[in-house]
Amino acid sequence: MILITRREHFSAAHRLFRDNWDDQKNLDTFGNCSNPNWHGHNYNLFVTVKGEINPETGFVVNIKLLSKIIKENIISKIDHRNINIDVDFMKGKLASTENLAIGIWDQLEPLIKVLDIELHCIKLMETENNYIEYYGNK
Ligand code: NI
């Protein structure tokens, strides 16, 4: 078993808020991420998969294929979009990095499984200092 990671990048807007809270409580809880007029982050997404090496190719997975799957199913839906409004798999969810990492996992996991490899980790960096790692519902 060996692990391989592909990094992708996207920029997106969001707002962390609860509409049943007033602006002050949202600000106290979510800080600048509750700014009513949105703001953006430059996200780095690390998708780690694991499997056995194919003796014919020496690869666990063709990294170009993995990149294509991530771009078609995640990046194309989220890059330069508003996570709260535009992203189908985030509808009705609070647009936190935690929920976004889980949403990305749920999108990618079935697409990776059919390649005879396993999704191991979604690591999502919202800033240089803050990141989430999700290993599935374990
Ligand atoms: Ni934010």
Query: Concatenated DSSP letters for 47-109?
Result: EEEEEPPPTTTS-SS-HHHHHHHHIIIIIHHHTTEEHHHH-GGGTTS---HHHHHHHHHHHHH
**Stretch 11-22: mean pLDDT, rounded?**
96
Ligand 1 centroid distance, CA of 121 (Å): 22
Mean pLDDT of 21-35: 95
Task: State the average pLDDT over residues 4-30.
Answer: 96
Residues near ligand 1 ion, CB 5 Å cutoff: 33
- Catalytic site residues? 33, 80, 126
Q: For residue 44, is pLDDT > 90?
A: yes
Please say if the pLDDT value at position 138 is more than 80.
no
When pLDDT is cut at 50, 70 and 90, the band that residue 137 belongs to is: confident
90-124 confidence digits (pLDDT tens): 999 999 999 999 999 999 999 999 999 999 999 99
Q: Sign of the CA dihedral 11, 37, 97, 105?
A: negative
Q: What are phi and psi of 70, to 5 degrees?
A: -65, -45
How far is 32 from 70, CA to CA, in rounded Å? Answer: 29
Query: How far apart are the CA of 126 and the centre of ligand 1, in A?
Result: 8
Q: Which is it for the CA torsion 51, 53, 59, 65, positive or negative? A: negative
Residue pair 120/50 in contact by the 8 Å Cβ criterion: yes
Q: Report pLDDT for 123.
A: 98
DSSP state of 129: S
C-beta of residue 78 within 8 angstroms of C-beta of residue 14: no
Instruction: Please give the average per-residue pLDDT across 1-26, as a whole number.
Output: 96
pLDDT at 36 over 80: yes
Distances (CA, A) of 136 to 7, 27, 116, 119, 127: 18, 30, 17, 8, 22
Distance 66 CA to ligand 1 centre (A): 27
Q: What is the pLDDT of residue 113?
A: 96
Q: Model-level pTM?
A: 0.95
Mean pLDDT of 7-26: 96
Which tens digit of pLDDT belongs to each residue from 53-94?
999 999 999 999 999 999 999 999 999 999 999 999 999 999
